[in-house]
Structure 1
Amino acid sequence: MLAQFVLFDGFDPLDVIAPYEVFSAAGNFTDQVRVELVSAEGAREVPSGIPGVSLTAAAPLDPGRADLIVVPGAAGTLPAGTDAPTGEPSGATIPVLIGNSLTTALPGLLAKALATPGTTVATVCGGSLVLAMAGLIKGRNAMTHQQGVDVLARNGVTVVRARVVDDGDLVTAGGVTSGLDLALHLLDREIGPKIALAVEHLFAHERRGVVWRDRGAVPQPSPFDTAQGAAGMPSSASVSA
């Protein structure tokens, strides 16, 4: 399988590097996995939102080639003096950086990916906000960083407060460190548990949290429920920050 990891101006480096390294490491144990760093504009140096940190996109984002596309969130600000190809001035904050990504070719390419049978789109942290703000996942189940769940809800997304939410061809995760658990779940799902376990051992990391899927019995209301809703239930009450 080909896994493409999306870069855009102001991306969060750990959102990309953690899952990228999981899939890259899987290449030590199987020839079934290939990885690429990509951008909507094609091969270029892409500044992250962390000062002094950039990554090089080696190819264009291509839903026709990729089996898995991983979208990160944003972090910090663009470095002072950065001449972003998309025209965003340096010093842009996270909401602006995410919003600016929507002015590029990225939303159209992600829409194509979600419409392509056999292609999975995954997000880490604020990556799901990119999809939600582009109007691509209305009515879907998803998670993001806890500070962004209200944005998901306002854009018609059903918020599920789980570390990883598997909604079929859309798999989303919460805060930045959940990128490891997202990637290991996808590796398990797509390649198999033996390879996923081998990478877990290599990284000395045990997956955290339950992967939520839209199946099985639904928890019944109990006296212990709060305004945030029953644990694991994708209800409108669960989006309270």
Structure 2
Amino acid sequence: MLAQIVLFDGFDPLDVVAPYEVLHAGGAAADGALTVELVTAEGPREVTAGIAPLSLRAVGRLDPARAGLVVVPGAAGRMPRGTGPADDGSVPAILARALDTGLPPLLKEAVDRTDVCVATVCGGSLLLAMAGLIGGRHAVTHHEGMDALASTGVRAVRARVVDDGDLVSAGGVTSGLDLGLHLLERELGPQPALFVERLFAHERRGVVWRAPA
């Protein structure tokens, strides 16, 4: 299985690196059953994180026809206060700029494909929601964005990880570790997930909420 982790300008680096390392280590432990790459809507390029001057290099283009798993991070920025317009450095503003690129149609293709699992960390679910792609689905985001997520028509669930079939989401930034471990166990079985959990000295925490069958 190929996992593609999406980068866009202003992404939160921990949202990317945590699941990347977990999935990469799990794939290696499972004899290469899962590989991971960083991608953008545009193809290979250097992508600036929301925490300057950090950047990561994408090696390819988001291609839901190739990927079995697509991971969407959130943004690193300020949370807006009050009801006034979001400033340019706020998380909603960064996500809005990401939607003004070639990313939305590729994300829509990923969401629409029954053979692709789309996973999100932190504000990644809000990015999908702002694009109108997950209305009526169950998802979680950072606790400060839960009301905004619910306002888009998403069924916001307060849990560490929310598994809604081919849509899996995780809450705050460190939950990317738990998301990666959950995906490993779901896709490759418990042994690779347990191996990585021990390797990283990380005990999974919080609740994995699963949508009713």
Flag whether TM exceeds 0.5 (same fold): yes
Equivalence for 1:223? none
1:114 equivalent in alignment to 2:111: yes
Equivalence for 1:4? 4
Equivalence for 1:160? 157
Using the alignment, how far apart are the partners of 1:28 and 1:182 within structure 2?
A: 18
Q: CA RMSD in A?
A: 1.4
1:24 Cα offset (Å): 1.0
1:123 equivalent in alignment to 2:120: yes
- The letter of the residue matching 1:114 is V
1:180 equivalent in alignment to 2:177: yes
The two structures have a TM-score, normalised by structure 1, of 0.82
1:94 Cα offset (Å): 1.7
Q: 2:167 aligns with which of 163, 166, 170?
A: 170
| Structure ID, larger Rg | 1
1:193 equivalent in alignment to 2:190: yes
The two structures have a TM-score, normalised by structure 2, of 0.93
Equivalence for 1:39? 40
Larger relative contact order, structure 1 or 2 (CA cutoff 8 Å, min sep 6): 2
Q: Structure 1: which 5+ residue stretches go unaligned? A: 78-90, 217-241
Does the 8 Å contact 2:75/2:94 carry over to 1? yes
1:209 Cα offset (Å): 1.3
Using the alignment, how far apart are the partners of 1:27 and 1:139 within structure 2?
A: 32
Q: 1:94 aligns with which of 91, 96, 101?
A: 91
Q: Which protein has the bigger helix share?
A: 2
Runs of 4+ deviating beyond 3 Å: none
Equivalence for 2:82? none
Q: Structure 2: which 5+ residue stretches go unaligned? A: 79-87
Q: Deviations over 1:187-225 (max 9, x none)?
A: 000001001000111001111112101228xxxxxxxxx
**Paired residue total:** 204
- The letter of the residue matching 1:123 is T
Q: 1:205 aligns with which of 188, 197, 202?
A: 202
Using the alignment, how far apart are the partners of 2:152 and 2:29 within structure 1?
A: 40
- The letter of the residue matching 2:66 is R
- The letter of the residue matching 2:41 is A
Using the alignment, how far apart are the partners of 2:160 and 2:124 within structure 1?
A: 14
